Amino acid sequence: MKIKNPDYKQTILDEFKAQKFMAFINARVTKIEPGHCEIEVSYKEDLSQHHGYLHAGITGTLADNASGFAAYTVIEKGSSIVTSEYKINFLSPVVGEKIIARGNVVKAGKTLIVCRSDVYDVKSGVEKLCATALLTMVEIKGK
């Protein structure tokens, strides 16, 4: 995985902090590595659906953001990432105390960056794959 922006960690942390919705749902970036990013959200009642579990909208949001930030690790300094599209499969309801989304770059092209996100439901500290997504990111240069 070629790294073109040596300051990618700081760029990601800055962009993440600038997303007010991330603070609103109390999301945290917990790992950043070349081609990889992890984001967590803890359960709270405000984020629940009609059976009391974490809302799938949070799962989708995290799957999207984890891959979006994974893509930030492989682009040029000054570029930004926009999500072109994603597809997500929900495998089981989120019943635990938090979820962790792990985003990975599958292929970094000149403009398009294909990523995969796996989302884990963490209950009593045990992880279970609860959703998986395939995503296409676009590098917008000079922004």
Binding site for a second copy (CB under 8 A): 15-16, 18-21, 23-24, 45-50, 55-58, 60-61, 64-65, 82-93, 106-107, 109, 111-112, 114, 116, 129, 132-134, 136, 138
* CB of residue 31 to a second copy, shortest distance in Å: 20
- Strand, helix or coil for residue 22: helix
Least distance CB 25 / a second copy (angstroms)? 8
Residue 53: strand, helix, or coil: coil
Distance CA 9, CA 81 (A): 14
Q: Based on CB atoms, which residue is closest to a second copy, 95 or 114? A: 114
Smallest distance, Å, CB 47 to a second copy? 5
Q: DSSP letters of 26-76?
A: TEEEEEEETTEEEEEEE--GGGB-TTSSBPHHHHHHHHHHHHHHHHHTTS-
Residue 88 in tokens: 């997500």
Query: Would you say 30 or 84 has its CB closer to a second copy?
Result: 84
In the bound complex, what is the minimum distance in angstroms from residue 64's beta carbon to a second copy? 6
Nearer to a second copy, 33 or 85 (CB): 85
CB 58 within 8 A of CB 99: yes
